Chains A and B, each alone.
Chain A
Amino acid sequence: MRVKPIKSLVQKPVRIPTHLLTTVKSAIHLISLSWVAYMLYLTISDAIPGDPVDALLHFTGMGAVNLLLLSLTVTPLAMLFKAGSLINLRRLLGLYAFLYASLHILTYVLFELQLEWTLIGAEIIKRPFITVGFVAFIILLLLSATSTSALKKRMGSGWQRLHNWIYVAAPLAVIHFYWSVKTAELEPIIYILVLVLLFWLRRDKIARFIARSR
């Protein structure tokens, strides 16, 4: 099956000034770090009405999914506007998605299950929605561990093959969210639709990824 890549919306490449890109990067650092720091402060000091564990679990989980989807919008944007330098943002967003996912799991293990190790193992294996989330986390872990430029060079074409697994991790993360709520809610459905759109925009790559994995 041959699927054509998407056409760009512009004739000429859009140049993004270096200082603007630096500003965007700084903003990503600032927002991602300060927001979670503030949330940690609120939950540790018991300043949130209700259950602090639930609040942090939800915040870090949603943060991870949001950042993951944001990182997946970079490539389509770069192609639509022929703005190659945007690609620089991808790794940063991906790494912050991994940071939030790590904090999500840490919150679950440290504060929800409070280090009840036998239960932690059992829950990951026995509960499909946790299994799915855990697999997504392992993929993100592998991608983050191999994200340095030096490793990218050393791994050659294997690097791209490994990093295509983001097309598995992202749906798993969204399914984990959809599965975790008790009833049909609007929000997880919106996330599924956004993911479908993001995949449709790179249908050529996905088609090749699926063809190769067969």
Chain B
Amino acid sequence: MLIRSNKTSDLTENDVTDEKVYRDRRNILKGLGFIGAGSLLTQPAHAFNWFGSDDEDLFQTNELTFSQPRAFQSDEALTPEDKVTQYNNFYEFGTGKDDPYANAQDFKVDPWTLTVDGLVENPITLSFDDLFKRYGLEERIYRLRCVEAWSMVIPWIGFELGKLLKDAKPLSGARFVAFETLFDPEQMPGQRSRFVGGGIDYPYVEGLRLDEAMHPLTLMSVGLYGKTLPPQNGAPIRLVVPWKYGFKSIKSVVRIKLTNLMPPTTWNILAPHEYGFYANVNPTVDHPRWSQARERRITTGGLLARNRIETQMFNGYEEVAPLYKDLDLRKFY
């Protein structure tokens, strides 16, 4: 008979980490960080990746098929993919720039439903597959200018919002388009707790004038760098309006509603003197807390990169200027 004596170092069933704890480990670690030394520990911990590499658990993105129209290619230096996907503002997953990457990897995007309704003749419901199949996808390299005075150059993949809206056939009374992000506190920690989500009243909402939404530059993006979007960048579908500050480009959209009145928008509700409805990139109108005249272009080169450049009117997309010819852009910032 084999007599087996267990060494004290042997593992038993009791030592197995509960699956729930394992799945929630990022949040648990974050929680510990908060109780501990606050930011001195939590912030660099993510940057240094002290808790080991989590690469095997990253959200699965898929290769996309798309055309590359010459008009939207660019010779500007692109922002590297790891910076585009690890430096994000998406308060639903936390207010730190590295929070969305850290907290969004288990986000479920399939099934997904995107509804187009309101003042339209033909309401549309798009399923997850429809997002990638209904319209031909194309790659568009756009500059993204954040209201925080940094910018990136990103190869988006998507289709024109105008095509979708035309299919929905706006009624004559429709003047604005209201957008809404998914509301799912189970999956989005920022929606569960006011403190994680920066005190925003969720769901996040945004809006455009109908003529802005119909402009050929306005894109519904489903991918970047050749693949479907990762959650931290707004999977599975997001808006990209390249001549406006980044917060206008709402992520993980579930509803597009045409209205006759100017819809409420999240940052405008939160701080109306800092963020307007239009939020066009404008170097002559400062944010109350910082200048908007210049920006830092995030590409490569690290700390010593001389990357401070002039901010251009409409982020360099002058073709949209006619949309605002009768508007005082100082008053309607």
Q: Write the residues of chain A forming the contact surface with B, with a CB cutoff of 8 angstroms.
A: 35, 38-40, 42-56, 58-59, 62-63, 66, 111-114, 116, 119, 122-123, 127, 129, 179, 181-187, 190-191
A-B residue pairs in contact (CB < 8 Å), sample of 20: A38-B48, A42-B47, A43-B303, A47-B302, A49-B85, A49-B101, A50-B86, A50-B97, A50-B98, A51-B150, A54-B97, A111-B303, A114-B306, A182-B198, A184-B194, A184-B199, A187-B34, A190-B34, A190-B38, A191-B38
- Contact between A49 and B87, CB atoms less than 8 A apart: yes
Q: What residues on B are CB-neighbors of A51 within 8 Å?
A: 83, 87, 97, 150, 296, 298
Given contact pairs A42-B47, A51-B150, A186-B34, A66 touches B304 in the complex (Cβ within 8 A): no
When C-beta atoms are compared, the residue in chain A nearest to B267 turns out to be: A182
- Contact between A43 and B302, CB atoms less than 8 A apart: yes
When C-beta atoms are compared, the residue in chain A nearest to B46 turns out to be: A49
- In the A-B complex, the 7 residue pairs with the smallest Cβ-Cβ separation, listed nearest first, are A50-B87, A46-B302, A49-B86, A184-B199, A183-B198, A186-B195, A43-B303
Given contact pairs A49-B47, A127-B290, A183-B200, A66 touches B37 in the complex (Cβ within 8 A): yes
Q: Write the residues of chain B forming the contact surface with A, with a CB cutoff of 8 angstroms.
A: 34, 37-40, 43-44, 47-48, 82-83, 85-87, 91, 95, 97-98, 101, 150, 194-196, 198-200, 270-271, 288-291, 293-294, 296, 298, 300-306, 308
Give the interface SS of chain A, mostly helix, strand, loop or mixed: helix
- Interchain CA distance A208-B293 in the complex, whole Å: 46
Given contact pairs A53-B296, A112-B296, A183 touches B199 in the complex (Cβ within 8 A): yes
- Interchain CA distance A147-B150 in the complex, whole Å: 39
When C-beta atoms are compared, the residue in chain B nearest to A127 turns out to be: B289
When C-beta atoms are compared, the residue in chain A nearest to B287 turns out to be: A127
- Contact between A62 and B39, CB atoms less than 8 A apart: yes
- Contact between B38 and A62, CB atoms less than 8 A apart: yes
- Contact between B38 and A187, CB atoms less than 8 A apart: yes
Q: What residues on A are CB-neighbors of B306 within 8 Å?
A: 114
Which of A48, A119, A185 is B47 in contact with, Cβ under 8 Å? Answer: A48
Q: What residues on A are CB-neighbors of B91 within 8 Å?
A: 183
- Contact between A116 and B308, CB atoms less than 8 A apart: yes
Given contact pairs A42-B48, A51-B87, A183-B95, A113 touches B308 in the complex (Cβ within 8 A): yes
Q: What residues on B are CB-neighbors of A66 within 8 Å?
A: 37-40
Q: What residues on B are CB-neighbors of A186 within 8 Å?
A: 34, 195-196
- Interchain CA distance A66-B199 in the complex, whole Å: 24
- Interchain CA distance A56-B303 in the complex, whole Å: 8
Identify the interface centre among B91, B101, B303, B304: most chain A CB within 10 Å of its CB.
B303
When C-beta atoms are compared, the residue in chain B nearest to A191 turns out to be: B38
